[in-house]
Amino acid sequence: MALASYVSKGITVTFSTLSALLMDVTFDGESADTVDCTHQASTNEWREFKAGFKDAGGATLALLFDPDATIPDLATSGTLIVNWPTGATNHYAVSAILDNIGAAAPLGDKMTMSLHFRATAASNWAST
């Protein structure tokens, strides 16, 4: 099987009224809790665990700062969609809340903004 490799360029993002120049997308990572169900009769003194709640994490968008960009208000809810450059049907989608807006203005360098989205439901890493 041939290994497919893609360069990160041409990614687009949609969320509410967001209209800005995207630099980077970073995902927090999905996780699942484990619940310790160890009891007095657990075999050979091994702890026992069961799967708990799952967490879809979130995503951070790094944007070029533009005073004319349209940035949704903090606490806006909606569907965050990240479209990969590998085709219109490849995307990441999740219901999310915009929970953090930041900015950086280093001396003599580009000004940037960061938007963090907290997932509020299961994410969909779709290829169709």
Q: What share of the chain is helix, strand, coil (3-state, %, to 5)?
A: 0, 50, 50
Residue 86 confidence (pLDDT): 74
pLDDT at 4: 63
Which residue ranges make up each domain of the chain?
Answer: 12-126
Q: What is the pTM of this model?
A: 0.85
Contact 85, 9 (CB under 8 A): yes
In tens digits, the chain (128 residues) has pLDDT values of 566 667 788 899 999 999 999 999 999 999 999 999 999 999 999 999 999 999 999 999 999 999 899 999 999 999 999 998 876 568 899 999 999 999 999 999 999 999 999 999 999 987 54
Q: Does domain 12-126 have CATH number 2.40.30?
A: yes
Q: Please report the sign of the dihedral spanned by the C-alpha atoms of residue 64, residue 67, residue 69, residue 75.
A: positive
Residue 35 CA to residue 72 CA, distance in Å, equals 37
Residue 122: Cβ within 10 Å count: 11
List the structure tokens of 92.
Answer: 């990441």
User: In the 8-state DSSP scheme, what is residue 69?
Assistant: S
